[in-house]
Amino acid sequence: MSGGPPIVRADPQGIAQAVQVIASDGIVAFPTETLYGLGVDALSVAALQRLEAVKGRGPARPMPVPSSRRFPRAMTRPSASAVLA
């Protein structure tokens, strides 16, 4: 297949590529124990809008924002549509 998103290994080089994608408001997919997760910069309105479009979500269904160190619990960030309103 050509033209699709790259598939990278979970090694330092692959992680650096994923960081670049997120830093440029892109979306990365990653495996979890049961499904795949989608990751974006949760502080970027453009990235949240892109994620909402991919997932077909709007302001009525905000995105969960899990965090491990800076916040002791997961928090919920408003949807990009709500931030812009």
The whole-number mean pLDDT for each consecutive block of 10 residues of the chain, a chain of 85 residues, reads: 73 90 92 88 89 86 71 50 49
pLDDT at position 85: 45
Is residue 3 in some structural domain?
Answer: no
Is residue 4 in some structural domain?
Answer: no
Q: How many domains does the chain have?
A: 1
pLDDT at position 42: 85
Question: Considering all CA atoms of the chain, what is the largest pairwise distance in Å, rounded to the nearest integer?
Answer: 42
Is residue 7 in some structural domain?
Answer: no
pLDDT at position 1: 46
Is residue 6 in some structural domain?
Answer: no
Decide the pairing of beta strands 75-77 and 28-31. Answer: unpaired
Q: Which helix (H) or strand (E) holds 63?
A: strand 63-65
Q: Flag whether the pTM goes above 0.85.
A: no
Contacts of 83 (CB under 8 A, 6+ apart): 45, 48
Is residue 2 in some structural domain?
Answer: no
List the domain range (segments joined by +) for residue 75.
12-84
